């Protein structure tokens, strides 16, 4: 074991004495170096920021961490502290830094060199949406043959196994030590004598914003609270940050891909009322916390700044996003209407319905047709014979996704690199909350002399014979930003996502270590997190400048928007720091796909492979023994709707209502949540609710009055039954 890994192991040890000894070792090294932290870091084999962080931790009052609580004991402390051996009593709030100290030391919401800035608060008061993977359990029993539908009805409940879980291949055995802090990607310096190497690199950040339809379907812990938290802790901070950059004169900063189902909820009056109520609850919790904890004051400042940003746009995120696009700050793009998993729908009509509804809804809300689309889960399949892996449904010929996109005039989409290059995905898994540093991932290939580099091979390309351009995920940046353990979000200084104060629900602890027990989390120190943001923003641009072969080319960086502010609290500030740094250098410039499509030569065309950005790059996250019953139900549901739409005796309102329930039923969120074991009961209930509502529409007299829930589900989304049609021909270059 190297001295560096040994020291990191001691710093993350469960025993407080070992951690304290490791911090003392760092302090002695700095003293021996005459206070030079950089030299001490070299002597210790650590990064400079790590030395600065642990020195700051050692100086914090109440910075010691308690031993693990007894098995089954409940940790109700406000700040985890370990009193010195001579005083074994719980420290009082007087041993913690004062609110004045925090306000002076913090970079949030105050910039040390400028005026106050709006915050990016998030406390995630309870949902378990997309939580880390639970421990694997034995696979469910085989599913029996489906019983016939009762009384001839087209839909019937399919049997499903209990508590399905996903087992990740290649994950290290329990107890395998992991690095204490994220490791920066090491890349060679560019050859500045080479004009292409020294040419500016174009950065296309693409953020995908999505939540399933939750209005009218529960509140806490699952339901409308998801929407409120995403608005307050992610979307509002991102919009406020982009407005500040607009005021500084920056343009073409990123692409915001928003699903129609999310946009419809943001435009719904019920959303504004719920968000206002949520702000009131969270501010009340922060004010109460101020009486016992100095971070209560900090949280109050954060939430107050966020509420001010919300009020400044009059609670209208749709108008704010539209204004940012009109000003040229961002590009807006769309996604399949309800985030259906396109490669595995049983009818091609379903794919077309999702795409046509998406483009129509986007134009209605944002004033112009979208130019690009994010395929749900970045899932793609090419033209050819088709067979469903669960139901065994088959088609001799099914058009590839690009045919449906080109028919609607869409110019670009996003795919993962292995769909172009073949082989294993470069990332072990597409989601930061379940990644594992020891999972088997494909190494990034190095080009032989005279051969194109990886970056040159991953430049945007037309898909097959179509004119739809695929932007390929750049793997260096994806690993650095996306990975929870080895990427930026796992920095020990950042706010921990999982541990919350029991009575207020606010988060008061730092990451400390991505694998640390909750009892071992250290107090959050805002100014240390601000330093981490600044360090990592600089590193990100330096890394882009060193990627071999990227000079003069484009790095497409797609991420879930909810990573920024939701999973990674400091994410919006990190983005702003990146944009600030971009404005002061010449090596990297930001761009958006609509400004890049004209650069792609007509002759640059590639056929893509079938897959997604999920585990192993295929469909297994959404298709596995725990979700098979859903695909059988969807097969019957699509067939029933196909018959309903063709029946001239059925009126258009009932047709639209049936299409809406089918689209909500087909959301990829439901099998995802079941596979992840997070909110699985909610996902099951939602799927069955829409299946049963669809069956009610199918079996009642077509002249009967429609149920009241018809007006509530997908409210504001325009649907027409004539969109249920096949693409007439294969795509040809425009």
Q: Indicate whether 4 pLDDT > 70.
A: no
pLDDT in tens, 530-543: 999 999 999 999 99
Query: Please, are residues 116 and 498 in contact by the beta-carbon 8 Å criterion?
Result: no
| pLDDT over 80 (residue 101) | no
Mention every residue, 6+ apart, whose C-beta is less than 8 A from residue 325: 331, 332, 366
Q: Out of 123-137, 331-345, 558-572, which region has the weakest mean confidence (pLDDT)?
A: 123-137
Max mean pLDDT among 19-28, 225-234, 502-511 falls in: 225-234
HSE-up of residue 681 (Cα within 13 Å, Cβ side):
5
Q: Which residues pair with 398 in a beta bridge?
A: 384
pLDDT band at residue 615 using 50, 70 and 90 as cut-offs: confident
Q: State residue 16's pLDDT score.
A: 64
Q: What's the pLDDT score for residue 6?
A: 72
Task: List, for residues 243-274, the tens digit of each pLDDT value.
Answer: 999 999 999 999 999 999 999 999 999 999 99
Instruction: Tell me what the mean pLDDT of segment 667-687 comes to.
Output: 95
663 vs 191: which has the higher pLDDT: 663
Residue of 47, 123, 377, 520 marked active site: 377
pLDDT at 705 over 70: yes
Q: What is the DSSP string of 45-91?
A: T--HHHHHHHHHHHHSTT---PPPPPTT-----SS-----TT--SPP
CB 602 within 8 A of CB 656: no
Helix, strand or coil for residue 579? helix
Contact yes or no for 347/638 (Cβ under 8 A): yes
What is the mean pLDDT of the segment spanning 371-381? Answer: 98
Tell me, yes or no, if 377 is annotated catalytic.
Answer: yes
**Sign (positive or negative) of CA dihedral 182, 187, 192, 196:** negative
**Farthest CA pair distance, the chain:** 88
Rg of the chain over Cα atoms, rounded to whole angstroms, equals 26
Q: pLDDT tens, 177-188?
A: 333 333 344 444
Which has the higher per-residue pLDDT, 269 or 704? Answer: 269
Environment class of 681 (CB within 10 Å of its CB; exposed 0-12, middle 13-18, buried 19+): exposed
Average pLDDT (230-241) is 97
Q: 476 or 11: which carries more pLDDT confidence?
A: 476
- Structure confidence at residue 350 (pLDDT): 97
| Band (104; pLDDT cuts 50, 70, 90) | very low
Banded pLDDT at 15 (limits 50, 70, 90)? low
Residue 45 region by backbone torsions, left for phi larger than 0, else alpha for psi between -120 and 50, else beta: left
CB 308 within 8 A of CB 117: no
| DSSP3 helix / strand / coil % (the chain, rounded to 5) | 45, 10, 50
Establish whether the linkage from the previous residue to 235 is cis, with ω within 30° of 0.
Answer: no
443 vs 535: which has the higher pLDDT:
535
Helix (H) or strand (E) holding 463: strand 461-463
Which residue out of 229, 302, 531, 560 is catalytically annotated?
560
> Across the beta sheet with 469-472, what order do the strands follow?
412-415, 469-472, 461-463, 605-606
Q: How many Å apart are CA 94 and CA 535, to the nearest integer?
A: 32
Which range (34-48, 194-208, 430-444, 674-688) has the least confidence?
A: 430-444
Structure tokens at 480: 């650095």
From the number of C-beta atoms within 10 Å of its C-beta (0-12, 13-18, 19+), residue 679 rates as buried
Whole-number pLDDT of residue 96: 35
Q: Is the pLDDT of residue 28 over 80?
A: yes
Query: SS3 letters for 369-434?
Result: CCCEEECHHHCECCCEEEECCCCCCEEEEECCHHHHHHHCCCCEEEECCHHHHCCCCCCCCCCHHH
560 is annotated as an active-site residue: yes
pLDDT of residue 346: 97
**Do 544 and 193 meet the contact criterion of CB atoms below 8 Å apart?**
no
Q: Which one-letter DSSP state was computed for residue 490?
A: G
pLDDT above 60: residue 77: no
Average pLDDT, the chain: 80
């Amino acid at each position: 074991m190297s001295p560096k890994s040994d020291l990191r192991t001691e710093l993350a040890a469960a025993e407080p004495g070992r951690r304290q000894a490791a911090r003392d070792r760092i302090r002695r090294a700095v003293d021996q170096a005459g206070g030079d932290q950089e030299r001490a870091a070299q002597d210790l084999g650590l990064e400079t920021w790590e030395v600065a962080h642990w020195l700051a931790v050692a100086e914090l009052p109440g910075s010691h961490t308690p031993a693990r609580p007894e098995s089954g004991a409940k940790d109700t402390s406000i700040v985890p502290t370990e009193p010195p051996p001579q005083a074994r009593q719980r420290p009082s709030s007087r041993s913690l830094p004062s609110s004045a100290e925090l306000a002076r030391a913090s970079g949030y919401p105050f910039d040390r060199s400028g005026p106050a800035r709006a915050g990016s608060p998030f406390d995630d008061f309870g949902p378990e949406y997309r939580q880390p993977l639970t421990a694997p359990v034995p696979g469910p029993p085989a599913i029996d043959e489906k019983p016939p539908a009762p009384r001839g009805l087209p839909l019937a409940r399919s049997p499903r196994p209990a508590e399905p879980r996903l087992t990740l291949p290649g994950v290290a055995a329990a107890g395998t030590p992991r690095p204490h802090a994220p490791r920066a990607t090491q890349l060679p310096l560019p050859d500045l004598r080479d004009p292409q190497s020294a040419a500016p690199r174009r950065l296309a950040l693409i953020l995908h914003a999505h939540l399933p339809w939750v209005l009218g379907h529960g509140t806490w812990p699952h339901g409308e609270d998801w929407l409120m938290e995403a608005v307050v802790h992610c979307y509002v901070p991102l919009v406020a940050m982009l407005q500040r950059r607009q005021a500084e004169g920056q343009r073409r900063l990123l692409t915001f891909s928003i699903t129609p189902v999310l946009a419809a909820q943001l435009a719904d009056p019920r959303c504004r009322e719920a968000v206002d109520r949520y702000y009131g609850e969270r501010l009340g919790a922060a004010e109460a916390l101020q009486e016992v904890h100095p971070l209560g004051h900090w949280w109050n400042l954060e939430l107050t700044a966020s509420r001010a940003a919300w009020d400044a746009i009059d609670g209208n995120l749709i108008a704010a996003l539209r204004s940012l696009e009109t000003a040229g700050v961002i590009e807006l793009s769309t996604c399949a209407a309800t985030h259906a998993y396109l490669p595995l729908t049983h009818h091609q009509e379903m794919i077309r319905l999702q795409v046509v509804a998406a483009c129509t809804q986007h134009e209605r809300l944002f004033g112009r047709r979208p130019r690009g689309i994010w395929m749900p889960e970045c899932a793609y399949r090419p033209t050819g014979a088709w067979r469903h892996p669960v139901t065994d449904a088959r088609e001799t010929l099914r058009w590839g996704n690009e045919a449906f996109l080109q028919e609607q005039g869409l110019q670009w989409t996003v795919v993962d690199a292995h769909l172009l290059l073949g082989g294993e995905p470069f990332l072990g898994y597409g989601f930061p909350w379940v990644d594992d540093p020891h999972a088997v991932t494909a190494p990034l290939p190095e080009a032989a002399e005279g051969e194109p580099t990886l970056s040159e091979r991953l430049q945007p390309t037309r898909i097959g014979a179509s004119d739809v351009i695929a932007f390929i995920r750049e793997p260096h940046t994806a690993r650095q930003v996306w990975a929870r353990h080895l990427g930026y979000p796992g920095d020990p200084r950042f706010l921990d996502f999982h541990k919350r104060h029991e009575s207020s629900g606010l988060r008061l602890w730092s990451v400390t270590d991505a694998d640390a027990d909750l009892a071992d989390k250290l107090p959050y120190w805002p100014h240390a997190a601000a330093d981490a943001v600044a360090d990592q923003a600089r590193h990100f641009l330096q890394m882009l400048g060193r990627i071999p072969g990227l000079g003069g080319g484009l790095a497409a960086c797609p991420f879930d928007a909810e990573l920024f502010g939701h999973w990674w609290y400091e994410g919006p500030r990190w983005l702003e720091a990146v944009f600030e740094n971009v404005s002061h250098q010449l090596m990297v410039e930001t761009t958006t796909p609509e400004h890049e499509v004209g650069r792609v030569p007509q002759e640059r065309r590639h056929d893509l492979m079938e897959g997604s950005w999920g585990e192993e790059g295929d469909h297994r996250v959404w298709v596995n023994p725990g979700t098979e019953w859903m695909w059988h139900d969807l097969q019957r549901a699509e067939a029933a709707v196909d018959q309903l739409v063709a029946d001239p005796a059925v009126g258009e309102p009932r047709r639209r209502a049936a299409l809406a329930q089918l689209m909500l039923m087909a959301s990829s969120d439901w099998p995802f949540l079941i596979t992840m074991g997070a909110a699985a009961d909610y996902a099951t209930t939602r799927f069955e609710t829409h299946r049963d509502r669809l069956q009610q529409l199918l079996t009642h007299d077509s002249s009967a009055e429609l149920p009241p829930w018809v007006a509530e589900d997908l409210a504001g989304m325009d649907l027409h039954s004539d969109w249920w049609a096949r693409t007439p021909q294969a795509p040809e270059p425009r």
